[in-house]
Amino acid sequence: MKSASICLVAAALIGAGVSVAKAEYPERPITFLVPFGAGGGTDVAVRTYAPYLEKCLGEGAELVVINKPGASGQLGFAELAASEPDGYMISTLNAPNFEIGAITGTAYKLDQFELLGNIVGTNVTLVVSKDSPIKTLDDLIQTAKDSPTPINIGTSSLGAEDHLTGLRFAKMAGVKFATLPLESAGNVRNAVIGGHIQVGSLSNNESAPFRDQLRVLATATAERLPEMQDVPTFREQGFDLVAGSNHVLGTRAGVPEEIRAKLAGCIEQVVKDPAFLEDAKKRSVSLNPMNAEEVKAFIAKEYSDLEELWKTEPWQ
């Protein structure tokens, strides 16, 4: 009866020309979907910046983090695609896994999502053992061209950013690699250090702590990494290759503009918060801030590049 009375009062006020204040978003908890397992890199990152997003969204805002791992993130992406366009579910749309799912025909299309921005990102590095006779990227190319059989490159899995970056570089350099998916970055690193494979594709977070055992030949970054100032980028060595994993934040397409703007604005605010930046540093969370427009342009270009690669070098 109470709720019915409230509705009647509101209707009477509207009929009398009195405006009724609209409740401000968010009115209830927001589901923050993490399409990967608890304790992984994406999960740690989300739980690092989620409190800062809550603070920005306003008093009473609550983000409920839920893990939904499976199919390299694509189960979670598909769930977001099927959600209501009301802003009460957001997710990381880890690229390139996100675009790969659309290219290879899983249960969603890119236009089902509204991209909001980016906080976290890692970049691919190409590594060899410290004991390897390969000292530079040019050495690697020449070794690959001189070898009667393709040299081995280790990756964590097929179709992930480390694998695809290796494919893109090989195509640019005119060489062939034999890809060995080794299930985890740790296995790749150990195989390279142990001399079991000739080259490995790892993220900067995975290679930087092991510089005493690994030689990093190139970073797939626009500029040299602060922690690897002595390592040239692919671009510096003649290859226009910037690649890695960006934990793009998104929601369902069709969300009301005021909600979209609020979420996107808070993402931009979080990456400028000194307290968050300190927490990210403590937890070794790599950052690659992009606003909504920047991330849309990034995804569009990466999708186009991957689609072209899929046509000539299908990875499945």
11 within domain boundaries: no
Per-residue pLDDT reduced to its tens digit, 206-239: 788 789 999 999 999 989 988 899 999 999 999 9
Q: Assign residue 34 the CATH number of its domain.
A: 3.40.190.150
Query: How do residues 82-94 score in pLDDT, each as one tens digit?
Result: 999 999 999 999 9
Q: Do 186 and 198 have their domain in common?
A: yes
Same domain, 116 and 262: yes
CB 171 within 8 A of CB 241: no
Beta-carbon contacts of residue 18 (< 8 Å; ≥ 6 apart): none
Position 17 in a domain: no
Domain span including residue 203: 123-237
Q: Provide the number of structural domains found in the chain.
A: 2
Taking residues 113-123, report their average pLDDT.
Answer: 94
Burial of 309 (0-12, 13-18, 19+ CB in 10 A): middle
Among 237, 255, 275, residue at a domain's last position: 237
pLDDT, tens digit (0-9, with 9 covering 90-100), for 284-307? 788 999 999 999 999 999 899 888
Q: Which residues contact 74 (CB under 8 A, 6 or more apart)?
A: 35, 97, 101, 106, 107, 108
Residues 52 and 189 in one domain: no
Domain closes at, from 209, 237, 265: 237
- In contact, 32 and 63? CB cutoff 8 Å: yes
Residue 203 lies in a domain: yes
Do 116 and 265 fall within a single domain?
yes
pLDDT surpasses 50 at 197: yes
Q: Answer with the residue of higher pLDDT: 115 or 204.
A: 115
Give the per-residue pLDDT at 3. Answer: 43
Do the domain assignments include residue 10? no
Angle 41-57/257-270 helices, nearest 10 degrees? Answer: 110
Helix extents (H) in 23-127 = 41-57, 74-81, 97-103
Q: Which tokens go with 41?
A: 């890199």
Rounded CA separation 81/71 (Å): 15
pLDDT band at 185 (very low <50, low <70, confident <90, very high): confident
Q: Which of 179, 206, 237 is the last residue of a domain?
A: 237
User: Is pLDDT above 50 for 20?
Assistant: no
